[in-house]
Each structure stands twice: as structure tokens, then as C-alpha cells.
Amino acid sequence: MTPQLIFYILIGILILKFIFDTTIDALNAKRYNDAIPSELEGVYNEKEYLKSQAYKKENYNFSLLISIFSIITTLLFFILDGFAFVDAIAKGFSSNSILITLIFFGIILFGSDLLSLPFSYYKTFVIEEKFGFNKTTKKTFVIDKLKGWFMLAVIGGGILALITWFYQITTSNFWIYAWALVTVFSIFMNLFYSKLIVPLFNKQTPLEAGILKNNIESFAQKIGFKLDNIFVIDGSKRSTKANAYFSGFGTQKRITLFDTLINDLETDEIVAVLAHEVGHYKKKHIIYNLFLSIILTGITFYILSLLVGNINLSNALGVATPSFHIGLIAFGILYSPISEITSLFMNALSRKFEYEADDYAKHNFGAAPLINALKKLSKNSLSNLTPSNLYVKIHYSHPTLLQRVLNLKK
């Protein structure tokens, strides 16, 4: 396969993905004006439904604009030999392969983030503000961005440096060491993400004594579940949207409730949401997801090891000398169709897990309070109640509100 043919394949994949994604989004947008299903009547009144439709349409149009801008800039970068240009800059700073890789990806990622910055700003301070969701101050926005860059440089840069080093010293067998590294990192983050990373961006406090805590402890005792770590996170610092999540396993397991969730829901509804999260733990969904993620990562690294040193990949991007970082870029695009397929599988599995967690909450606490909670959360976030089936299958990690309500009413 010649470098020119590989170049055209890369361009073809990018264009086909853009066409596919925009088509799926357009088909979903056609459903925005559908009538609310009878099972969900009462979630919105007429005024609220019109507001939710306006929110969906504005987000759709804005996302389309971003997609068009992204595909144009990406294609121009390819056609104008942008990767070769950045490669030359990186090699001008150092002759060390690891440093070259770090500088190369640093320039690419920082440049990409700067280009997306105006869109991120508009999304936060215009669209989210307009519909009453935004609570982020400009100071918080800037600090979050700086912290994100720092985390990417330290953690992302450290992992990338080690993987590049593995490639240097072992070549074709580097994938084994890279896989082991990412596996250890994934397990570590599953255990300690909430303790080490979340506090950099949000304040977490133990749930205060009171009716809510008493009811949660009573439920935990009823199902024989030891739950010492229940935290409240200041989600209202950035948005009015509510959430809750379970993290860790073993002695490090914890449930985190957004303060917005506590403000929006009744006590029994919050316990129902917590019962759903406990269901994920009881059904070992966290372990299954981690295991599958590790397996998929290993397969990806193995395929990468077969292709990354191919000189034609580097030549296709205008670089004469094969290098790990250029091969990684080309591989990422070539592998994206496979990644889309695995994403379909993981989303389908995730939706199955959500049903199982809902069933656990239904059988161990009650269906009615969870249904009420889901309806309120959907209403408060102006969720789409009528997405297209195809869009759900491709993009949704959770069943739709209608699907969850029907399942809970069985």
C-alpha cells in the first residue's frame, strides 16, 4: 500500500465519519417536535416543552457549526502537511525521541484546544446561560482550563513518555508494557479518582447528619451494604444540572451526590437514585466495565504495534523518517472505524447495566420514587424525550427516559 493511497484512505475516513455523524444528528433533530409519549405526560408543561425544544435546536445548530469547522480545519491541516510542519518544529527543539513526541503532541493538543476555546466559551456563557443552566464564573472557566492543561501535561505527558520509551527499547513488544502501564493506571484511577482528581476541581464534603443520611443508612442496613463514604459535591459551582455517581470498589467505594440533586429531589427520590448506584456495585458493573476496557486496550495496543513503525504511515503524512508519534496519529484515524464498532458494543452493554441497576432499585427500594426522580432530572436538564432509535443505539450509554419508565413499571 503506497503512502499516497494511505493518505487518501485517511482523508476518506475523516470525511465519511463527518457525513455519518451529521446524518445521524440530522435524523435525530427531526424528532425534536414529536409529541411527548403518553407515559411521560406531565414531565413538561407546554411552556417548558417549547423551552426544551428550543434548547435542543440551539445545541444541534451549534454542534453542526463546530463539526463543520472541525472537518475543514482538519482537512486543511492534512492537505497543507501540518503534521510534517509540527514534526519539524519538535525536532528543532531536541533530538531525543521522547521529547520530540511530547513536544509534537503538546503543540497539536494545545493548538486544537485553543481553536475550540471560543466554542467552549460560547457554549458555557451564551447557550447554557440563556437557558438558565450556567453557574460557572469566568474566573472558574479560566482556572478549570489551566488545571486541565496541567493535568494533561503531567499525567498524559508522563504516560506518553513511558509508552514512547517502551517503544524505543522493545519495538514490536512495546504493546505488552504499554498495556500493563495503562492497566495499572486504570485500576488506580478507578480506586482513587474521587480522592485525588475531583478535589482539584470541586469541593467534596461528607453528607451531613439528618433525615437524608438516616434514610440512606437505613436502606444500606436493609440490603446489608456497608456504605461509609457518602459525599456531596458542589456541582452548583458550574451548573444547575444534577447527577450522582458511584466510584471505586472494595474499601475505596464511595457514592457522590451533587448538591443540585439534593436540592431538586425529595428524600425518597434521592435514596432511589442511590439505590440505583448501589445496584451498579452489587451487579459488579464497575468490575465488568474495567475488565472490558482493559481487554480492548490490550487489543488496540497490539494492533498499534503491528502498524506504528510502518514507514508508509509516516510518508502518508508528509514525514520522510518513520517515528512513533507520526505513526500514532495515522493509526488513530485508521483504527477509528473499529473504535466506533466497539463503542456501539460498549454503549449497548452500558444500557443493559442501567436496566439492571434500575431493577435493583425497584426490587430493593421502589419503582415509583425512582421514576419520579428520573422525570424530574430530565425536566430540569431539558432532556430530549423523543430521540431517534438509531441515535440512541449509536450514542446513548443510558436507555431513554421512556424506556426506563416502561421497564420500571413492569
Give residue 176's pLDDT band: very low, low, confident or very high (50, 70, 90). Answer: very high
Q: How many residues does the chain have?
A: 410
User: Residue 249 pLDDT more than 80?
Assistant: no
Residue 309 in any domain: the answer is: yes
Average pLDDT over every residue of 312-331: 91
Q: Is 347 exposed, middle or buried (0-12, 13-18, 19+ CB in 10 A)?
A: middle
Which secondary-structure segment (H or E) carries 244? Answer: strand 244-247
pLDDT at position 1, please? 77
> For residue 174, which of 162, 165, 166, 182 has the smallest C-alpha distance?
166
Closest alpha carbon to 43 in 361, 409, 401, 406: 401
Asked if the structure places residue 41 within a domain, the reply is yes
> 238-273 burial by CB neighbour count: b if 16+ within 10 A, else e?
bbbbbebebbbbeeebbbbbbbbbbebbebbbbbbb
Residue 305 exposed, middle or buried by CB count within 10 Å (0-12, 13-18, 19+): buried
Average pLDDT over every residue of 365-372: 95
Stretch 123-135: mean pLDDT, rounded? 94
pLDDT band at 250 (very low <50, low <70, confident <90, very high): confident
Residue type, 328: L
What is the pLDDT at residue 269?
A: 95
Amino acid at 155: I
Report yes or no on 217 lying in a domain: no
Closest to 324 (Cα-Cα) out of 13, 2, 1, 99: 99
pLDDT category at 331 given cuts 50, 70, 90 is very high
C-alpha to C-alpha distances, 99 to 90, 135, 202, 310, nearest whole angstrom: 8, 39, 33, 21
Would you say 361 and 315 are in contact if contact means Cβ atoms under 8 Å apart? no
Other CB atoms within 10 A of residue 232 CB: 18
Residues catalogued as catalytic: 277, 358
> Residue 254: inside a domain, yes or no?
no
Residues ≥6 apart with Cβ < 8 Å to 332: none
Q: Rounded to an integer, what distance in angstroms lies between the CA atom of residue 7 and that of residue 10?
A: 5
Question: In total, how many domains does the chain have?
Answer: 1
- CA 402, distance to chain mean position in Å, is 23
pLDDT for position 245: 83
At 27, which amino acid appears? L
> What share of the chain in percent tops pLDDT 90?
74
pLDDT over 90 (residue 394): yes
* Cell numbers that stand for 338 in this block: 473499529
The predicted structure's pLDDT at residue 149: 93
User: Over the chain, what is the mean pLDDT?
Assistant: 92
Pairing of strands 230-233, 254-258: parallel
Contact status, residue 236 vs residue 259, Cβ threshold 8 Å: yes
Supply the DSSP string of 316-333, one letter for each residue.
Answer: HTT-SS--HHHHHHHHHH
Mean pLDDT of 323-334: 92
Position 241 scores a pLDDT of: 87
Residue 229 placed within a domain: no
Gap between the Cα atoms of 136 and 129, Å rounded: 9
Q: CA Rg, the chain, in Å?
A: 23
Range of the domain at 77: 3-201+284-408
pLDDT of residue 320: 87
- Tell me which residue of 235, 226, 330 sits closest to 282, measured CA to CA: 226
Percent of the chain residues past pLDDT 70, beyond the cut: 100
Q: Count CB atoms within 10 A of the CB of residue 189.
A: 16
Counting beta carbons within 10 angstroms of the beta carbon of residue 136, is it exposed (0 to 12), middle (13 to 18) or buried (19 or more)? Answer: middle
Q: Most distant CA pair in the chain: distance in Å?
A: 69
User: CA 399, 405, 406, 410: dihedral to nearest 10 degrees?
Assistant: 120
For residue 328, tell me if it sits in a domain: yes
| The three cell numbers locating residue 53 | 425544544
With a cut of 90, say whether residue 124 has pLDDT above it. Answer: yes
Phi, psi torsion values for 105, nearest 5 degrees: -70, -30
Segment 179-224, tens digit of pLDDT: 999 999 999 988 888 888 888 898 999 988 899 999 998 998 999 8
Nearest to 88 by CA among 319, 311, 312: 319
pTM recorded for the entire structure: 0.89
Distance (Å, whole) CA 26 – CA 17: 14
The C-alpha cell at 96 is 531525543
